[in-house]
A and B are shown apart, each in its own frame.
Chain A
Amino acid sequence: MSSTSATFRIWRGEKGKGEFRDYKTPVSEGMVVLDAVHQIQADQANDLAVRWNCKAGKCGSCSAEVNGMPKLMCMTRLSDLPLDQPVTVQPMHTFPSIRDLVTDVSWNFRVKQEIKPFKPRQPDAPDGTWRMQQEDIERVQEFRKCIECFLCQDVCHVLRDHHKHDEFIGPRFLVHVAALEMHPLDTEDRIPELKKAHGVGYCNITKCCTKVCPEGITITDNAIIPLKERVVDRYYDPIKRLLGIGRK
C-alpha cells in the first residue's frame, strides 16, 4: 500500500445521540485503524474521544466496530480493508455510549462480581501448596488468554439485539465460568447459576464470539458448549444420572 489517503466515517456524539462524520487522512504502509484515528484526532478533530492503551492487542481498550464488525482498532490493518470506500468506525453497540468511540463497559465488571469465585480443594502438601498435572490445566489455559476487550459481548446477539443484560452474562463470562468450572483444583458448583442466573440456555451457538475474539479463544466449542453439556448432565439427562456414567 503506497502513501495515499482514505476516508474514515467516524461516529461522533454523546450518550447515544450523534452522527457519522467523514474525515479524509493520509495513510501509509503498516498503519492500523487506531493510527488513522489518532492522526485524525491530532489534525482534524482534537475533541475526538477514543479509549486506547497498549497499541499491541493486549490491553483490550480500543474495542470498536470497524466496517460493522467488532475489532480491536490497534490490530486492524488498513491493508486488510477496502480503502476505495469510507471505513466506518463506530463504538460498540452493546454497551451505552459515553462519547464518540468510548462506551461504558462497567456492566461487565458488575457481572463478574456475581460469579462464584475460585474455591480450591484442601492443599495437597503440608506446606499449603497444590499439585496439578499440565494436561489437566491445558483447557483452562486457553481461557486465561482473555484480555477482556468485550468484543465477544458486543457481537453476541443475545446482548446486542435482545438486550438480555439482566438474564445472560455473555460469552466473556461464560469463558470465565468455564475456566473456574474446569479447573482441576476448584470445588465450587456453579451449574445451578449457569442454568438460571447466568442464562447459558440463551446462547444459540452462532459462534460470532469465537469469530471476533482477538486472542483466538475457541469460545463456543471449548467453553460454552461444554458448559451447556454440564447443564444437560445435571438437569436433562436422567439416564446418565441414574447410571452414574461419566462422573467427574
Chain B
Amino acid sequence: MATVDVPLERVRFGRTARKDGWWVMPLTTLVVFTSFIVYVTWALLQGDNYYFGNYLSPLYSPELFGNSPHAVFGPWRWPWLPFIKYSPAMLILVFPLAFRMTCYYYRGAYYKAFWADPPACAVGEPRHNYRGEAKWPLLIQNLHRYALYFALIFIVLLSIDAVKGFIFNDPKTGHATFGMGVGSLVLLVNVVLIAGYTLGCHSFRHLVGGVMDQMSRAPTRKKVYDCASCLNRHHPKWAWCSLVFVGFTDVYVRLCATGVIHDLRIF
C-alpha cells in the first residue's frame, strides 16, 4: 500500500478554521438522541398505559405476552427479574433499536455526536487511535441487514396495528365498526414514516437490486431498486421523522390511556 513520505501534522481536538456553526448538527443529534433514549427507557420500564382501546403503542408492538387485549399469547406466566417490573416492550424493543443503531445514516450521525469521531467535517478529533468499522467492536455493524429482516416484519405488524386503529367496538351493540379517531391517524402516519425509513435503507436497496451489475436483466428488481433509491435519497429525513413520531405516538396513546387527553372521534 502506498505511504506518505512526509510526516503529517496532527490537529488538536476541536481545532478548525471553519467559521460556520459546525457544532449545531452534532449537538442537535446529541440532544434528540439522548432525549429519545431517556424517554424510551422510561416508557419501557412503565409496563402499563401502553394501549387505549384499539390503539397500541408502537413501542409495545407486537405485544407477545401482556395483560392488554392486544396480547398475542395472553399474560406473562413465568418468573421475571426480581428488581425490574415486567414490561411487554422488553421482549421486542431490541429489534427496532438494533435496526436504528446499525443504520448507516445513524452511525455517521452518532459517531459525530457521541464520540466526536469526527465532531464535524474538518474539525480536529480527541483521539489519535482509530479502528473504524474494520475491527471489533464496530465490526458488528455489519449485521445491519439482519436487523433489516426484523424491521421488515415490524412494518407488517405495525400496519396491522394501524388497521386495528380504525376498528372500534360500538359500546351499544358490542359490534366492531369502522371509524376514525385522531389516534387512528397517528398510528397510520407512524407506520408510513417507519415504512419510508425502512424501505429506503441502504441494505434493502442493495439486496433488492444494488448487488446486480446488470439490472436490465431483472426489470422488476430494477423498479424496486429505483423506488428504494428514491426513498434512500431522503433517508436522513425519514430517519428523524420516524424517530420523533414513534415517540410522539407512544406519548399520544399514553395520554389517552391515562385520561389526560380525550381521543377525538372524527366519525
Contact = CB atoms under 8 A, between A and B. Distances in A.
Interface in B1-22: 1-6, 8-11, 16-20
A9 B142 CA distance: 44
A206 B6 contact: no
A116 B188 CA distance: 50
B132 A88 contact: no
A68 B145 CA distance: 36
Contact of B6 (A16, A111, A167, A232): A16
A165 B6 contact: no
A184 B133 CA distance: 29
B179 to A, nearest CB: 42
Contacts of B133: 201-204
Give the secondary structure class of B's interface.
loop
B122 A68 contact: yes
A80 B48 CA distance: 54
Interface in B61-114: 104-105, 107-108, 111-112
A139 to B, nearest CB: 9
A136 B210 CA distance: 11
Contacts of B20: 67, 69
A62 to B, nearest CB: 17
Contacts of A29: none
A118 to B, nearest CB: 13
A246 B214 contact: no
Contact of A204 (B2, B17, B107): B107
Interface string A28-51: 000000000000000000000000
Contacts of B138: 204
Nearest to A9: B17
Nearest to A93: B11
B1 A68 contact: no
A113 B11 CA distance: 29
A107 B4 CA distance: 6
A231 B139 CA distance: 12
Instruction: Pick from A184, A212, A229, A245 the residue with the most CB of B within 10 Å.
Output: A229
A221 interface: yes
B117 A67 contact: no
Instruction: Pick from B8, B111, B139 the residue with the most CB of A within 10 Å.
Output: B8
A157 B125 contact: yes
Given A68-B19, A155-B121, A205 B107 contact: yes
Contact of A248 (B9, B117, B212): B212
Contact of B213 (A186, A197, A245): A186
A104 B6 contact: yes
B125 A236 contact: no
B112 A206 contact: yes
Nearest to B3: A166
A190 interface: no
A204 B111 contact: yes
Interface in B164-191: none
B124 A161 contact: yes
A165 B130 contact: no
A161 B11 contact: yes
Contacts of B145: 229, 232, 237, 240
Interface in A210-237: 211-212, 220-221, 225-226, 228-233, 235-237
A233 B121 contact: no
A235 to B, nearest CB: 8
A77 B112 CA distance: 29
A155 B125 CA distance: 13
A95 interface: yes
Interface of A: 15-16, 65, 67-70, 82, 85, 88, 90, 93-97, 104, 107, 110-111, 113-114, 133, 135-136, 155, 157-158, 160-167, 169, 181-184, 186, 197, 199-208, 211-212, 220-221, 225-226, 228-233, 235-237, 240, 245-248
Q: Which 4 A-B pairs have the closest CB atoms?
A: A201-B134, A68-B17, A68-B18, A110-B2
15 contacts: A67-B17, A68-B18, A68-B19, A96-B4, A107-B3, A136-B213, A161-B124, A163-B10, A204-B117, A204-B133, A221-B235, A225-B206, A231-B142, A246-B211, A247-B211
Given A199-B132, A229-B211, A235-B142, 4 more contacts: A94-B8, A162-B129, A201-B135, A233-B211
